[in-house]
Structure 1
Amino acid sequence: MKKQTGFTLIEIMIALLLGLIVVGATISIYIATVGSSASTIRSSRLNHDLESVMTLMANDIRRAGYWEGAADNEDDNNPFTNTDATAGAVTNVNILENGTCILYSYDADNPSPITIVNNEFYGFKLQNNTIMMRLSGSSTTNCNDANDTWQNFIDNNQLTITALQFSFAPIDVNGDGDTTDPGDLPATSRCWNQTQKTSTNQLACTGGANGDYIIQNRIVNIRLSGRVSADQAVTKTLLGTTEIRNNRICVWDGANCP
């Protein structure tokens, strides 16, 4: 009769150790995969949310100055671009609060006769790590007017806005004093003197003669940065440039463009 033998205690312990190593390695790989997937999902969500915010802002800003009654001989009387508009409201596009707020107006309901009402003043601003959208207001000169109605349109539980910058001039993203580097926003607003056939690469017009016909081509550069609220390591910065379709037209009064 053949003698039956089993595993020794040492062999069993070695087998258990090898099994634990294999199980541990499997669990580690699983955890790493889940963590990577979660990070990828957060990054994708951040990209989607920031791109949606950028698109919404750019599309609405592009409408600034729209007037249903615009015509070839009436453009310089556009109440949505002139600073002497109805009821003294200033409706030119303004960037305020160190570039973190932009205010503007456009014809939303096409009333006849044309009047500018509170629900035709719009804008965006950075406030408490989120972006506020203005639903109504009374002018384009104050981002904190008591008559304004602002609404948060971002889910703070998911997205934290860390920076927002609007500019009519180029933005030096790299911070080296040169706005022509890759990654910078080099587009700039321009002032065209139609009477004298001259232009300057800046929004402000200078050197005009009384009665000169002035056209302001307004370009808005936008830099937007944010992070996932639940994970500070997942960050994203978007850059965008939008051209306001309705140029501001005025007659130079000898000092400025009213």
Structure 2
Amino acid sequence: MRRERGLTLLELLIGMTIGLLLLLAVSGLLVGLLGEQSRERRQAQLGAMIDASLSLMAMELRRAGFWNGAGPESDNPYRGLYIEQGGRCLRYAYDDPAGKSPPGPRYFVFRLHEQRIQRRVSDAAGWRCDAAAGWDDLSKSDIGTVESLTFSREAGGAAIGIAVRASASRGQEQERLSIHTSVTLRNRPQVAGP
């Protein structure tokens, strides 16, 4: 009589336990990789948002003080650049380089308001940091919050320093980003403020 060959109940339970442990290890590794990918995506989105805002600010500040008119520099209506509200707001202006007729609004403001970087385009009458309407958000609160935005006078007024701190959070995880850049002013506006 031949003896039947197969697995005993004990062997089957040991095999299932080993398989379950391997499955748990692989799924834990997969969860860790997905969490890391999510964190890197949040950090990249936050970096891209802040980089786009800083690039626009730098491009605009290089135009600050430009005047397409003739006459002495003291007559330049766009020559002032003002850092206000303890460095959280910056006002500047420039003339239309193409000499369009009629000229559009040439007075601008950047500020931090309710954890968002904002920009406002206006005429000379509405050229204020505390204006109630007409602001465009440069940062998006669904991507991250801007904790601080500070403008400062650098190189004796020949440059403007911009410092930004932002964060993006999901649950208890939080990504932080701090950037400081300096923008050289091409048209030598008169910088007032800290």
Give the TM-score normalised by the residue count of structure 1.
0.66
Give the conservation status (yes or no) of the 8 Å contact 1:104–1:140: no
Higher relative contact order (Cα pairs below 8 Å, separated by 6+ residues):
2
Percent identical: 25
Does residue 129 of structure 1 match 2:115? yes
C-alpha change, 1:107 and 1:230, in structure 2 (3 Å) is farther
Q: Which structure has greater helix proportion?
A: 2
How many residues of Structure 1 are paired with residues of Structure 2 in the alignment? Answer: 188
Does residue 165 of structure 1 match 2:165? no
Give the TM-score normalised by the residue count of structure 2.
0.86
What is the aligned partner in structure 2 of residue 107 from structure 1? 95
Amino acid at match of 1:242: V
Quote the Cα distance in structure 2 between the aligned partners of 1:141 and 1:98: 17
1:60-85 CA-to-partner distances (Å, cap 9, x unmatched) read: 11211111125xx632321211xxxx
What is the aligned partner in structure 2 of residue 184 from structure 1? none
Does residue 242 of structure 1 match 2:172? no
Give the conservation status (yes or no) of the 8 Å contact 2:65–2:187: yes
Residue 245 of structure 1: CA displacement? Answer: 1.1
Q: CA RMSD in A?
A: 2.4
Amino acid at match of 1:17: T
User: Which structure 1 segments of 5+ residues have no match?
Assistant: 82-91, 169-186, 190-216, 250-258
Amino acid at match of 1:225: R
- 1:221 paired residue among 161, 170, 174: 161
Residue 138 of structure 1: CA displacement? Answer: 2.8
Q: Which structure has greater strand proportion?
A: 2
Quote the Cα distance in structure 2 between the aligned partners of 1:99 and 1:63: 20
Residue 134 of structure 1: CA displacement? Answer: 0.7
Amino acid at match of 2:155: T
- 4+ residue segments displaced more than 3 Å: 139-142, 229-232
Residue 127 of structure 1: CA displacement? Answer: 0.2
Written as runs of structure 1 = structure 2, the 5 A alignment for 1:149-228 is: 149-168=134-153, 187-189=154-156, 217-228=157-168
User: Which structure 2 segments of 5+ residues have no match?
Assistant: none
Residue 158 of structure 1: CA displacement? Answer: 1.2
